[in-house]
Chains A and B, each alone.
Chain A
């Protein structure tokens, strides 16, 4: 399980990345992340919505209420241009951390 801080920090890039696959809604977004992380990233589910709304306020995403296959109304979120830009920025940041750690971990065996 990830720490609270790491979960909080990774929420925005995760949401942006899932939405880059196509429009989605809150519950499906959570399922997708849980499935990809083998259950390691488990959000307090309700906390996702204020994040989505914040992203909408900042024009990263737009939302629309649509009828789902169950007949109930569901709020679908779609990535906007500003969101794609934000995703690129996030990607750069996380790749920097990732490559740095990878390099360190690859060289570690030869050091010990």
Chain B
């Protein structure tokens, strides 16, 4: 009996949520919060002796009619939703550009440094080996940096929101800042190049560079695939709600 009641309540909550989720006015977090409220409310009503079904109906009616809630949430969310999505897409692609510039710079310095520091009696690695070391280290570091940035962003959501708000209020300043940071990483990533060329001589550097440029075409294919996969996943998730 207890189990049957419990099941009904969860089922009713699920149906209530599905109905609400049909409207774009509510974000997932809004529904989490409203559902949490309903559960608290139902719990307290049940403690006062109401049955699960009675408690659900009273709690839902106290929460307010769907149309009314939809209207109020729309006011807070509507302008946000699309603007935010576009903003974060831009921030994401610029962010990956910055991280990739940073990774390239670090790994290039590491490559030329390793080459210089290896003593003669060990033998200097050939340009192919150097090229592969450079490519693999670059990819590993880039993926690591992206994962780290993503986690950091999740932990500092409040800070990011304030930063987003700040940039929306001063778009010109924010755009200039992003542009400067981008130029700086691009300039930074070209600093190690002459060092590598000087270290290895023209022919060897040519081989190294050819290998690197060819293989850096791979990420150009990988990024759109990841983006397509993410888009498909989010749209499937949205459809499931």
Contacts from A to B (Cβ < 8 Å)? 25-27, 44-47, 49-50, 53-54, 57, 59, 62-64, 70, 72-75
Counting residue pairs across A and B whose Cβ atoms lie within 8 Å, the total is 58
For residue B7, CB closer than 8 A to chain A, the reply is no
Q: Are A47 and B41 in contact (CB under 8 A)?
A: no
21 A-B interface contacts by CB (under 8 A): A27-B36, A27-B41, A44-B68, A45-B37, A45-B41, A45-B64, A46-B37, A46-B63, A46-B64, A46-B68, A47-B68, A47-B72, A49-B33, A50-B75, A50-B76, A59-B162, A70-B43, A73-B36, A74-B36, A75-B32, A75-B33
Q: Is B151 an interface residue (CB 8 A)?
A: no
- How many residues on chain B are close to A (CB under 8 Å)? 24
Looking at chain B's contact residues, the main secondary structure is helix
| Inter-chain contact B37/A26, CB cutoff 8 Å | yes
For A46, A50, A53, A62, which residue has the most chain B Cβ atoms within 10 angstroms? A46
Contact (A72, B41) CB under 8 Å given A44-B64, A47-B72, A50-B76: no
1/0 per position for B56-82, CB-CB distance to A under 8 A? Answer: 000000111000110011011100000
Cα A59 to Cα B224 with chains together (Å): 36
Closest beta carbon of chain A to B221's beta carbon, Å: 37
Q: Which one of A49, A62, A63, A64 has the greatest number of beta carbons of chain B within 10 Å? A: A49
- Chain B residues near A75 (CB, 8 Å)? 29, 32-33, 36
Interface residues of B, Cβ cutoff 8 Å to A:
29-30, 32-34, 36-37, 39-41, 43, 62-64, 68-69, 72-73, 75-77, 158, 162, 165
For residue B140, give the distance in angstroms from its CB to the closest CB of chain A: 32
Q: B41 to A49, Cβ gap below 8 A?
A: no
User: Can you add 4 more A-B contacts, CB < 8 Å, to A45-B62, A46-B72, A53-B30?
Assistant: A44-B63, A45-B63, A49-B73, A72-B39
Report the separation of the CA atoms of residues A1 and B55 in the bound assembly, to the nearest whole angstrom.
23
Residue contact B68 to A49, C-beta cutoff 8 Å = no
CA of A50 to CA of B73, assembled, Å: 5
Contacts of B37 in A (CB 8 A): 26-27, 45-46, 49
Evaluate contact between B76 and A47: CB separation under 8 angstroms: no
**Which residues from chain B contact A47 at a C-beta distance below 8 Å?**
64, 68-69, 72
Closest A-B pairs by Cβ, 10 of them:
A44-B64, A46-B64, A27-B40, A46-B63, A50-B72, A46-B69, A50-B76, A53-B76, A45-B63, A27-B37
- For B33, what are the chain A residues with a Cβ–Cβ distance below 8 Å? 26, 49, 75
**Chain A residue at minimal CB-CB distance from B30:** A49
Nearest CB of chain A from residue B241's CB, rounded to whole Å: 18
Judging by beta carbons under 8 Å apart, are B68 and A57 in contact? no
Give the residues in chain B near A54, CB-CB below 8 Å. 76
**For B63, what are the chain A residues with a Cβ–Cβ distance below 8 Å?**
44-46
CB distance from A105 to the nearest CB of B (A): 34
Residues of chain A within 8 A (CB-CB) of B64 are 44-47
**Complexed CA–CA distance, A70 and B40 (Å):** 9
Q: Is the CB of A46 within 8 A of B76?
A: no
A70 to B35, CA, bound (A): 14
